[in-house]
Structure 1
Amino acid sequence: MLVAADLLPDVSAIVQQYVIPFAWKAVGAIVLWIVGGILISGAGRIVRGAMTARGIDPTFSHYVNSALSVLLKIVLLVAILGIFGVESTSFAAVLAAAGVAIGMAWSGLLANFAAGIFLVVLRPFRVGDAITGGGVTGDVREIGLFATTIDTGDNVRVFIGNNKLFSDNIINYSANPSRRVDLRAQLAHGVDPHQVIAALAARLPQIPNVVQTPGPQVGIFEYNAAGTLLYVRPFCNNLNFGQVVDDTQRVIGEVTGGLPVPAPHHVEHRT
């Protein structure tokens, strides 16, 4: 009958032969992961700084930095597996087989990756541009490997798959130097629209950040049941769009404030 003293040599041998070497490998793997992560972050900062110093477009530099980070992390993972005795050739074969299976299952992910490359190469927009795409309007913060990051006007961060964004219509508000503000001013019956047009045309150029070329446009949009409807269209840079909209609304209110209130008129004929 075996006693505890008889089992001690066997346990000691197992600990020395298997547990202690595995523990050292685990410690080495943890140290390598921490040090490798620090080095990868440092390499990313160096690459990003070098691209910024050479005036490379931020859209391209962000994309390259993301791709470099993913590639270096894969290399780090292979090195960590090598500590545990997994050969790189075996890992590459497993990774290739897994890549085929993942590619078939996650074809949308690969489509997002390919679309991201086209977004960086063709540049329908850049980081910092205000766009509408994929049903979202906001400022572009980053074009990643698989998704584009956009901050909306109400300060909500949205991630859109690159393929969805690239396959949809993209409206770039920052591509041209100026953008048109399109507002309306309703006048009542009996109000001379030409006098109001002249007053608005004189006030609009005085609004801060309204560009002079092209100049503000004011005219008759239509005649309706309430009177005359005017269009009011100053131009401004996209960065000042919200401010110009607010100031233009204020100017319209000041010019038309003392005029009769427009109301629909109906003529009824009785026999």
Structure 2
Amino acid sequence: MNTEAIWLFLTTQGVDFGLKVIGAIVAWGIGRWLIQLAQKLLGKALDRGKRMDATLSNYIVSIVGVLLNILLILSILDMFGIKTTSFAVLLAGAGLAIGTAWGGLLTHFAAGVFLQVLRPYGVGDYVTIGGVNGTVSELGLFGTTIITPDNTIVVVGNNKVLSDNIQNFSRLKFRRVDVTAKVANGVDVHQAIDLLKAAVAKVPNISPDQPPDVEILQFTPEGPLLAVRPYTHTDNYWQVYFDTHRAIVQTFGAAGYPTPETPIVRRSIVPPAVPQPQ
């Protein structure tokens, strides 16, 4: 290590370099604060207009944030004498390496643009994307943020979303809730169906436009298996699901229906053969 060169640098340019470092740190802190403030104000302005949904407004705010951060970095580099033209030449020289490293991010970014145009889902929709179920919290530049039913945040890459199946449970007015109920052999199944239809129709938040379906699904050794299918909005899915189970238990209990039991299969025991004397 050339200590003389280091000492010469510190004595001649050390103070100037130190001031530049301090200035860069201060500029970074102030710049980041201003960028966050600008994003916050822009988000409020877009929400105030009521003409743009949350998905697109969040996407625009994210793009503005990325552009402002790039400008901030270039400004800090300029403080150290690294001109933007030199920085562009450096990026061009390392284009192959950067393109390889950032290729995945660019595909996610392009997929995010297509998702904004196609709009298969929006913020607040309950979806299944990339094998993940949950409510869309944000459609970002490179990924979609999902809040799962167990309150976990999952970020799915936009390219994975676009290249896989997308299920949107919130786009239609209502969805079907699938529940089954088994009645014992000997019970009047038609009476059970009528009682269940009347009970399930009283469950809160079921769709008034689509009456619940109660039909025989299949026959089992214990008795007929009924398909109980009310319809509701996705926001009320689990409430209707559990209330329907509760209605089945209360209805069958009030009617005095026995619990279905598996029939006992009796097998005849064949005694072993007795050897005959010779």
Would you call these one fold, judging by a TM-score over 0.5?
yes
Aligned to 2:276: none
Aligned to 1:3: none
2: CA distance between counterparts of 1:192 and 1:269? 30
1:153-164 residue pairs with structure 2 within 5 A? 153-164=149-160
Report the Cα offset of residue 139 of structure 1.
Answer: 0.7
2: CA distance between counterparts of 1:165 and 1:146? 11
Aligned to 2:215: 219
1:115-154 residue pairs with structure 2 within 5 A? 115-154=111-150
Q: Please state if 1:207 is matched with 2:203.
A: yes
Shifted more, 201-210 versus 94-103: the winner is 94-103
SS of the equivalent of 2:218 reads: strand
Q: Is the 8 A contact 1:225 1:266 kept in 2?
A: no
1: CA distance between counterparts of 2:9 and 2:156? 53
* Post-superposition CA distance 1:88-137 (Å, at most 9, x none): 10111223444542222342222111111111221111011111111111
Aligned to 1:90: 86
Gaps of 5+ in 1: 1-6
Report the Cα offset of residue 147 of structure 1.
Answer: 1.3
Report the Cα offset of residue 195 of structure 1.
Answer: 0.3
Alignment partner for residue 33 of structure 2, among 11, 34, 38?
Answer: 38
2: CA distance between counterparts of 1:25 and 1:49? 35
2: CA distance between counterparts of 1:22 and 1:65? 35
- Change in 2 beyond 3 A, CA 1:98/1:67: farther
Report the Cα offset of residue 266 of structure 1.
Answer: 7.0
Aligned to 1:23: 18
2: CA distance between counterparts of 1:227 and 1:180? 24
Q: Please state if 1:51 is matched with 2:40.
A: no
Q: Please state if 1:178 is matched with 2:185.
A: no
SS of the equivalent of 2:257 reads: coil
Alignment partner for residue 246 of structure 1, among 242, 245, 248?
Answer: 242
Amino acid aligned to 1:195: Q
Gaps of 5+ in 2: 269-278
2: CA distance between counterparts of 1:225 and 1:121? 53
Identity %: 46
SS of the equivalent of 2:191 reads: helix
Amino acid aligned to 1:129: D
- Change in 2 beyond 3 A, CA 1:166/1:72: same
2: CA distance between counterparts of 1:15 and 1:27? 16
- Change in 2 beyond 3 A, CA 1:14/1:226: closer
Alignment partner for residue 261 of structure 2, among 256, 260, 263?
Answer: 263
SS of the equivalent of 1:188 reads: coil
Q: Please state if 1:69 is matched with 2:65.
A: yes
Shifted more, 157-166 versus 96-105: the winner is 96-105
2: CA distance between counterparts of 1:111 and 1:97? 22
2: CA distance between counterparts of 1:244 and 1:267? 38
Report the Cα offset of residue 17 of structure 1.
Answer: 2.4
1: CA distance between counterparts of 2:155 and 2:205? 32
1: CA distance between counterparts of 2:78 and 2:65? 20
| TM-score normalized by the length of structure 1 | 0.90
Amino acid aligned to 2:41: I
Q: Please state if 1:78 is matched with 2:35.
A: no
| TM-score normalized by the length of structure 2 | 0.88
Report the Cα offset of residue 50 of structure 1.
Answer: 1.4
The structure 1 segments of at least 4 consecutive aligned residues displaced by more than 4 Å after TM superposition are 13-16, 266-270
